[in-house]
Amino acid sequence: MDLVSPEPAAVWRRFSQICAIPHPSGHEEKLARFLAAEAEDLGLAVRMDDAFNLRIDRKASPGREGAPRIIFQAHLDMVPQAAPGKVFDFSRDPVTPVVKDGFVRACGTTLGADDGIGVAMAMALLEEPELDGNFAALFTVSEETGLVGAAKLDPGFLDGDILINLDHSEENKICIGCAGGARVHLAFDTGSAPVPAGRAVRIVLAGLPGGHSGVCIHEKRGNALVMLARLLRAAPCAVASFDGGTVDNAIPARAEAVAVLADPGAAEQTLRAAADVCRRELDPRFSLELEICDHPVPERVWDGAFQERFLAALATAPDGVADFAPEYGVPRTSGNIASLRTEKDILKLVFSTRSLDDAERRKHTDRLIGWFSALAPRVAVTSEYPGWKPAGNARLPGMAARLRRELTGKETVIEVIHAGLEAGLFAGKNPRLEMMSCGPAAFDIHTPDERLSIASVQEFYPFIRTLALRLMSLK
């Protein structure tokens, strides 16, 4: 679908180019090199590091050299999520954007508006003839898997006075603070036992809405891994495998297990009764399917004692919001049981923790690790990043809110969010930076239902362009 026709044409043209180049986390090199080549063709200065973080600078016009140095920042990677049954290789296949009912969306996959639209806007701003001050675009990699690129960034890439992060996908909102986070990896030895008498059955729990594990964590959308553990505890069975979840920063929408049931009929009744309890207590929007596994039949099942302890731990783990921050109206601390993978006799569990307070996040990380400690897992904590604490007397968000009111008549909410942004790491590398985060409206990010509002882009881009013009006059 041609996305050049809607205004602003330059933004949609860039967004179409970005969608055409596969760029999930860890595969951003091709997109980074394309943008670098485009910038060089425009006569702009380009810097790229070994991680493929990219900075593009536009030199100030004569007489504008003393203007504040403004950085527009976005991340290159996207979350790779496909709808059930959709065959799609995010490392090779381009995303196909379509226009429907006032939105741009993809065909059964995440769109990548998070944060492709931010990248597209930054590139378009670099081409605006009126913006003749000190401007730069900064594009980081692997933001979605723990702010990896931002953590590796040389402080020289952050040389500037003002940084506007274009990664906040909520209309008429400006973010001035965010949660820090970490990824935790646990590896368990399941042990093994002979397959008992009975039938091997694949048990699939699917249809939950999933969603962003920070922004949506308080909405009680249900966690497929936790739910399926509850169901498996209810029915006598011998588990051979348990898998679910896809990426570290999404709430699992689907999980499946292969188990041997002595009496499949009776076990199915028990499982469905337990599922009804989950629907009443947690979320009604899931399906439960049982399929006889004639081929392949499992060769071994989990050790019985391990199965009992692991399912009990997973079913009762402190998943979700741990503490609320009433002063900001968002969760303060949370955890998300993100994914589970069976690899022969090894079970790999990944969860993430977030908090506005770094000390509280570390405490909650330790609490979740401790929850599984009786099973003696091998533990690795990765991708730790700090929160971004709101500045006391920040002038930038107030100036932006007044401009938004002037241009649109709309009021702007200035907020703190329970999601990770790179600004916390940037603040540590350049404490002088004035920062805020904003962007056009996108919905259901990190899911195949992700969609980007065309009207919101049409309203936001003139706002951010005008804001840049006004920032050039600041002293």
Name the residues annotated as catalytic. 77, 143
Beta pairing partners, 78: 24
- Count the alpha carbons within 13 Å of 165 in the hemisphere toward its beta carbon: 30
Beta pairing partners, 395: none
Strand, helix or coil for residue 106:
coil
User: Which bin fits 108, alpha (ψ -120 to 50), beta or left (φ > 0)?
Assistant: left
* Pairwise CA distance, residues 110 & 447, whole Å: 6
- Count the alpha carbons within 13 Å of 314 in the hemisphere toward its beta carbon: 33
Tokens of 61: 């016009």
* Pairwise CA distance, residues 164 & 171, whole Å: 15
* Pairwise CA distance, residues 465 & 428, whole Å: 27
Strands 300-301 and 193-194: antiparallel
In the chain, the N- to C-terminal Cα span, in Å, equals 44
Contact status, residue 225 vs residue 250, Cβ threshold 8 Å: no
Contact status, residue 115 vs residue 166, Cβ threshold 8 Å: yes
Q: Is residue 344 packed enough to be buried (19+ CB in 10 Å), middle (13-18) or exposed (0-12)?
A: exposed
Please list the helix, strand and coil fractions of the chain in percent, rounded to the nearest 5, in that order: 30, 30, 40
* Pairwise CA distance, residues 460 & 471, whole Å: 16
Beta pairing partners, 164: 72, 436
Q: What is the DSSP string of 171-204?
A: TTEEEEEE-EEEEEEEEEE---EEPPSSEEEEEE
Tokens of 361: 């996040």
Cβ atoms < 10 Å from Cβ of 61: 13
Strand, helix or coil for residue 316:
helix
**CA Rg, the chain, in Å?**
24
Tokens of 26: 């860890």
Strand, helix or coil for residue 312:
helix
